[in-house]
Amino acid sequence: SVPRGAVYGLVGPNGAGKTTTAMAIMGLLPSPPGKITDGEITFCGKSMIKISDKERRKILGEEISMIFQDPMTSLNPSMRVADQIMEMIRLHKKISKHEAYEMACQLLEMVGIKRERAKDYPHQFSGGMKQRVVIAIALACRPKLIIADEPTPGMDLALAKQAMQDFRTFADDGNGVLLITHDLELALEVADRIVVFYAGTTVEEAKVTDFADETLLRHPYTRALHEALPGRGFAALPGTQPYVKDLPSGCPFAPRCESAMKICLQKMPPYVELGDNHRAACWLCVQEQMKAAEKNNEKTEAGSHE
Ligand code: SF4
């Protein structure tokens, strides 16, 4: 659930199903083979599953913008970049061409591109700059929600950080951002909340501040991700993620987990609420909660005997 004013990071390895999740939200899953079999997707109280195609197109054009991994999916190679941004602005605002051009230049400057480049074509930009143009187009729609799927490939570190800052500003204006990335470090840069995804499922969800203290992270995969951060020594996790179409029984992380127990191989762990909107799907958390409950019972019993 992405509230107004927040950036949520959906973080996980390639092949975990992050893009599929985004496509499902947008109603863009190729069907067949894609199909939503369970659950609900709502946007501002409306079911995105039950609305008509016409209504969905309207929402996607006006209220939700998606930034795809490959900028050329969104850019028209035969149009100057300013014209592409102006087209989007004039779709939403009744303003003159001159005013729209001025706004397009401002948006380009906002994403770090000089206005002198406004009349260039996409092929005259580097990959990272093209992606920045796509971000400018997404902002031009004035959506309520931006879904950014791996928005920074091809950008150098400074440009990537600038893009994160753009998302932060957009969220601070009362909108929402769902940032999809395999890069935990990037998500930590901007997100308020991080959802860790592995093999098609959420394994942990926590406030970004919890990531400052490793002891607060509860799922072994989240901890492994955290230990792989550059500042923490790049500790690589052995093994590979299972293919989501061919998951083992039980916890999908079990084949790589040093703490795996018998039950982990047999049953999928449930989500355990850990307080303060923090939750994780791990049998270790279930065990800890059971032990804590037993201790509480013992204390209560001892108290009643006194
Ligand atoms: Fe490891 Fe078991 Fe937790 Fe899965 S449920 S992460 S295998 S301890």
pLDDT tens by residue, the chain, 306 residues = 999 999 999 999 999 999 999 999 988 888 888 889 999 999 999 999 999 989 998 898 789 999 988 888 789 999 999 999 999 888 878 899 999 999 999 999 988 899 999 999 999 999 889 999 999 999 888 899 999 999 988 788 888 888 899 899 999 999 999 999 999 999 999 999 999 999 999 999 999 999 988 899 999 999 999 999 888 777 789 999 999 888 989 999 999 999 999 999 999 999 999 988 899 999 999 999 999 999 988 888 887 766
Cβ–ligand 1 distance for 269 under 6 Å, the answer: yes
Token pair 């009744």 in the structure block, residue: 94
Cβ–ligand 1 distance for 145 under 6 Å, the answer: no
The residue contributing the CA closest to ligand 1 atom 5 is 282
Cβ–ligand 1 distance for 257 under 6 Å, the answer: yes
CB atoms within 10 A of CB 83: 18
Token pair 């230049």 in the structure block, residue: 105
Amino acid at 140: A
Report CA 165 to chain centroid distance, whole Å.
15
**pTM of the full predicted structure?**
0.91
The residue contributing the CA closest to ligand 1 atom 7 is 254
Cβ–ligand 1 distance for 250 under 6 Å, the answer: no
φ, ψ at 107 (rounded to 5°): -65, -40
Region class of 199: left (phi > 0), else alpha (psi between -120 and 50), else beta: left
Whether the CB-CB separation of 196 and 9 falls below 8 Å is answered with no
